Chain A
Amino acid sequence: MITRRIQYELAGRVFGPALLSFEAWQKRLKRRGKKRGPSPFGPPLESVKKLKEVMSLHYLEGRYADGAVPVAWVTSGFPVELLRPLGFHTVYPENHGALCGVQRIVPELSDAAEKEGWSRDLCSYARTDLGSVLLGKTPAGRLPKPDLLACCTNICQTVLYWYRCLADHFRVPLVLLDTPYVYGEARPHHLEYVRDQLGELIEVVEKLTGKRVDMDEIVGIVRKAREGTRLWGECLATARARPAPWTGIDGFFHLAPIVTLRGSEECNAYYRLLLDELGDRVKRGIGGIVDERRRLLWDNLPMWYGVRELSTLLAERGFNFVCTTYTNAWAEAGSRIDPADPMGSAVLAYTHIILNQDLPNRLDIMRRLSKDYSVDGAVLHSDRSCKPYSIGQIDLKERLARELGIRVLILEADHNDQRAWSPEQGNTRLGAFMESFS
């Protein structure tokens, strides 16, 4: 246990940073003398280096976390602020899934899950994660085994089915925050239910760790979480400028700390750095793409395996995704967090996630984003793997087009499984879509 703890601490504080510095030095060496070729994108964000460092260290620490500190595997919508004071190392299988998606190893992982009996029609994040667990394969080197699974249904019911399978596999406790879907206004007894569950899950994690949750510490973490989401919201809002200083696709990658490290100082420090850089780019008129002629909204998760190709295709024609409903959700939720009432505000914040609210609310958000970011069009990613996000898009498309007079395209793909994406067909559709603006 002590050895493990030392390894864990050293990984995060000594070896990790040293290794990353070495890697960075090697990359600089390789790049020396090479000039950046022609690109439709603006100069790369300097913050990316720090982002890689923050996330790499998190995953590197994770390799030594089990046996050193309690480990929780957590859904992205779970109130992680309750786990941080107890010293949990948190792993986000959704974030890890995205990592696998970017590396395009999902088919192999999914095949392992499918062999076990999970259908290819199930969420590709779930298949990725279950396959990764079965094969022990991950681009992160190694994921620590969980002591606890923490699941909140505010993003979908799928995560619960998925985490039940994980609990079955790892034989560890699963804590559930079941958030009733909000039709119109949340009913008082629905909010009471969420509040009661928060109390129950604190009991479970206290028992598991043998520690008491310190409310003062929670207040501090909640304050940091609120600050982090505020900073993230400000980063996103810089894209209201013309040209937008970054692309919505950049935003998908820079989302990782607010998902994975929410409530920590390193998360907030990162977003301060990013915000400074974005603000500076706005002042200097540096765009995320070189020649921004049309501004678009993206709805739903990204296609992790194809974001670069997709954004390049668009950027070459002067199209930039300046806002996305997905990245915005992380700024939106945090606005309800109140350190003066951590539990009460957590109930409201975690119940009122975009995917846990009805379609009129979703349409309102899309209308607002479209206006605030002055978009000319929208691409709605009809995501085979995410039914709660995709149901209603056909009506949303029609309403957005009619009410805002913008062009809207529905693009069918999958957020993680490239086998569900047909690049030729998709690119042709995107080409025709862009053509319609001329």
Chain B
Amino acid sequence: MRRAYIEEQKREHGRKAIAVLPVHYPKEILTAMDVLAVEMWGPPGPPRGAEAGRLQTYVCAVARNALAFMASGKADVVDAVLFPHTCDSIQGLATLLPDFGGWNKPALRYLHPKGEARPSSRAFVEKELVSLATDLESVTGRPLDTERLRWAIALHREIDGLKAQLLAGRPRLPMDDGALYALLRRGEYLWPEEHLVELRAARDQLRADPVQTGVPVAITGYVPEPMSIFATLNGAGAFVAADDYAAIGRRVVPQDGPVEGDPFAVLRDRTFAAPPCPTRASDPRIRARHLESLFGRTGVKGVIVHEPKFCEPELFDVPAVKRSAAARGLPLLLLEGELELELSAQTVTRIEAFVEMVSTGRAA
């Protein structure tokens, strides 16, 4: 389905397409340069090619599946690949694929700084943004237009604003979690203007009063795979009232920065305004405060931590997340997966038992 869409975008609009590995990257620059970003969170399921065997089984499924997918030619519809500097595994993949075989098209890297904003990291990220734009010029064959970048920044701000409204207004949205997350995740490959139209339509559905009757829970993790987790949750009588997935909520940048002036400076500020995320090595104390505030605002009754196995940035933060939940007296369920296509029966049982527990308030 994505292949057909990408081909259509290239054919109908003359756009280039770039596969993007998780998590954080300046999508605004790609949009401004008329480049369709197609995010590759795995893809989920078993590796789609024998090349996964070039990585050890203790490397996360995101990196192994991406290697298998790309090296087997299944991503050949795109014109280049972008590797953000997310973790050691993706960093390693960014040399393994282009340097040792499996990817012959341009390979771009975006090395976002780690940790909190410092004068050095602010200066660096601005230069890295310019550097990425220059690298993209060699893919698109045309220079970046500053006005177009301003337009793209405004467009993505609006997208983020709508996502924020949908996530914050979750109890008032007459839509099940599966439908909401499918909508949010279509932004991983849709042309942003098309995604914007869908998000506006969803925003218009928001009611004045809550319509969700289930138990509100928070969910944090890397990427919502398998998506059937939401059907299981909803079926058990809960709904996601607070989201902190790296793929979803942690990429929704608050709308408090300036929009005027040098667009690269605006993008720099947006980088540091994003919610705390372990893949950017945010301070766990800051993240803990952020989560406590999120749990408090949304009135959730329990917290689900949903991580891919072997994901170091995420797994190092688990004790801090546990403390955040404990500070609010919230029970926590830790789930680990490997981007399976379906939840195992044991996991389903654990989710059901957890929802039953928080529904009855037994944990408190």
Contacts and interface: CB of A to CB of B under 8 A. Distances in A.
Interface in B275-295: 278, 281, 283-285
B341 to A, nearest CB: 22
Interface string A104-126: 00000000000011110111001
Interface stretch (B74-82, B95-103, B226-234): B95-103
A197 B123 CA distance: 11
B89 A395 contact: no
Given A168-B285, A180-B85, A388-B92, A359 B312 contact: no
Contacts of B312: 122-123, 157-158, 161, 387
Name which of B54, B113, B120, B284 has the most chain A CB atoms within 10 A of its CB: B120
Nearest to A121: B310
Interface string B191-215: 0000000000000000000000000
Contacts of A358: 95, 99
A181 B85 contact: yes
A391 B309 contact: no
B43 to A, nearest CB: 20
A265 interface: no
Interface stretch (B17-25, B263-271, B313-321): B313-321
Interface stretch (B26-34, B55-63, B182-190, B237-245): B55-63
Contacts of A119: 315, 318, 336
Nearest to B130: A189
Contacts of A359: 92, 95-96, 99-100
Contacts of B151: none
Contact of A118 (B56, B58, B120, B319): B319
B313 A394 contact: no
Interface string A322-364: 0000000000000000000000000000000000001110000
Contacts of B105: none
B124 A193 contact: yes
Interface string A386-429: 01101111110001000000000000100000000000000000
B316 to A, nearest CB: 4
A392 B115 contact: no
A200 B58 CA distance: 36
A162 interface: yes
A436 B322 CA distance: 51
B265 to A, nearest CB: 15
B342 interface: no
B321 to A, nearest CB: 8
Interface string B32-57: 00000000000000000000011110
Given A119-B315, A387-B312, A395-B96, A160 B118 contact: no
A199 B121 CA distance: 12
Contact of B89 (A192, A197, A387): A387
A183 interface: yes
Interface string A210-247: 00000000000000000000000000000000000000
B119 interface: yes
A384 interface: yes
Name which of A121, A165, A387 has the most chain B CB atoms within 10 A of its CB: A387
A272 interface: no
A292 B70 CA distance: 45
Interface string A143-175: 000000000010011101110110110000000
B95 A392 contact: yes
B87 interface: yes
Interface string B153-178: 00000000000000000000000000
Contacts of B3: none
Interface string A183-207: 1000101101100110110000000
Interface string B97-134: 00111000000010101110011110110011001000
Contacts of B120: 193, 196-197, 199-200
Interface residues of A, number: 48
A160 B99 contact: no
Contact of A391 (B59, B101, B109, B284): B59
A73 B312 CA distance: 21
Given A123-B312, A165-B319, A196-B123, A391 B96 contact: yes
Contacts of A392: 92, 95-96, 100
A178 interface: yes
Contact of B56 (A126, A199, A399, A412): A412
B127 to A, nearest CB: 4
A390 B111 contact: no
B65 to A, nearest CB: 15
A183 B334 CA distance: 36
A200 B119 contact: yes
Contacts of B137: none
Contact of B119 (A176, A196, A388): A196
Contacts of B320: 165, 168
A176 B319 contact: no
B316 A391 contact: no
A370 interface: no
Contact of A161 (B101, B111, B316, B336): B316
A260 interface: no
A178 B316 CA distance: 18
Contacts of B58: 121, 384, 387
B81 to A, nearest CB: 13
A165 B287 CA distance: 12
A388 B101 CA distance: 18
B126 to A, nearest CB: 9
B96 A121 contact: no
Contact of A122 (B54, B109, B115, B316): B316
A161 B95 contact: no
Given A391-B89, A394-B55, A178 B121 contact: yes
B114 A121 contact: no
B85 A122 contact: no
B9 interface: no
A118 B119 contact: no
Nearest to B122: A196
A128 interface: no
Contacts of A161: 278, 281, 312-313, 316-317
Contacts of A160: 114-115, 281
B271 to A, nearest CB: 14
A394 B54 contact: yes
A118 B334 CA distance: 12
Lowest 7 CB-CB distances: which A-B pairs, in order?
A391-B92, A196-B120, A161-B316, A117-B319, A358-B95, A189-B127, A193-B124
23 contacts: A122-B316, A161-B281, A164-B283, A165-B316, A168-B284, A168-B320, A180-B85, A181-B85, A183-B94, A190-B124, A197-B121, A199-B120, A200-B119, A359-B92, A359-B95, A359-B100, A387-B58, A387-B310, A388-B88, A391-B89, A391-B92, A392-B96, A412-B56
Given A161-B281, A382-B56, 20 more contacts: A116-B319, A119-B315, A121-B309, A126-B316, A156-B88, A160-B281, A161-B278, A180-B111, A183-B109, A192-B124, A193-B121, A359-B99, A387-B88, A387-B312, A388-B92, A390-B56, A391-B56, A391-B92, A392-B95, A394-B56
